[in-house]
């Protein structure tokens, strides 16, 4: 999953803004440092608290300007965000999804919406059965 950043040069450095995510901005003294900062700010921006119901827009694949930088979301962050997005879009609570996955405790599901968790293949298979429209290809 790649978001798009517009980079601006100023006298004392650089700054950038994500075109799809309002308020997702960063700055740096060098272009190399800015590239690292864009990745960091994007992942932090999408790592919304688990109880949040905010749904950020998905990347706009129609953007293909040469002056735009594509910045990849870390797979763990992308997975957690996309899972939360599917749950909210399907009007399900975390508890309801946990039950559908056969998890006895809600925290077992909440871990899946946390970007530090790595789900098992069995869990991924179950998620796909609950959310057939889940776009796993966006994770990578």
pLDDT, tens digit, 9 for 90 and up, residues 55-64: 899 999 899 8
pLDDT of residue 24: 96
Q: Which two three-digit tokens encode residue 101?
A: 């996955």
Quick: pLDDT tens for 7-54.
Answer: 999 999 999 999 999 999 999 999 999 999 999 999 999 997 767 778
Q: Which residues contact 96 (CB under 8 A, 6 or more apart)?
A: none
Chain centroid, CA 61 distance in Å: 15
What total of structural domains would you count in the chain?
2
pLDDT of residue 50: 66
Structural domain of residue 29, as residue ranges?
Answer: 2-72
CA atoms within 13 A on the CB side of 57: 12
Q: Are residues 36 and 80 in the same domain?
A: no
Q: Are residues 45 and 84 in the same domain?
A: no
Q: Are residues 7 and 68 in the same domain?
A: yes
Mean pLDDT to the nearest integer, 61-73: 91
* pTM for this entry: 0.88
Q: Are residues 100 and 68 in the same domain?
A: no
Q: Are residues 48 and 93 in the same domain?
A: no
Q: Are residues 45 and 9 in the same domain?
A: yes
Q: What are residue 53's phi and psi, to 5 degrees?
A: -110, 15
Q: Are residues 80 and 132 in the same domain?
A: yes
Kindly list the distances between the CA atom of residue 86 and the CA atoms of 5, 77, 93, 94, 113, in Å, as whole numbers in the listed order: 25, 14, 11, 11, 11
Q: 7 with 42: CB under 8 angstroms?
A: no
pLDDT of residue 73: 95
Q: Are residues 67 and 122 in the same domain?
A: no
Q: Are residues 19 and 31 in the same domain?
A: yes
Q: Are residues 30 and 55 in the same domain?
A: yes
């Amino acid at each position: 999953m790649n978001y798009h950043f517009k980079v601006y040069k100023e006298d004392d450095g650089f700054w950038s803004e994500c075109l799809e995510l309002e308020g997702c901005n960063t700055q740096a003294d060098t272009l190399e440092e800015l590239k690292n900062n864009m990745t960091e700010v994007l992942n932090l921006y999408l790592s919304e608290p688990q109880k949040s119901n905010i749904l950020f827009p998905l990347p706009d694949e129609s953007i293909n300007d040469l002056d735009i930088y594509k910045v990849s979301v870390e797979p763990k962050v992308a997975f957690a965000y996309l899972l939360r997005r599917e749950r909210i879009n399907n009007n399900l609570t975390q508890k309801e999804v946990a039950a559908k996955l056969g998890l006895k405790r809600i925290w077992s599901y909440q871990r899946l919406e946390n970007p530090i968790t790595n789900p098992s293949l069995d869990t991924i298979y179950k998620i796909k059965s609950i959310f057939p429209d889940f776009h796993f290809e966006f994770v990578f």
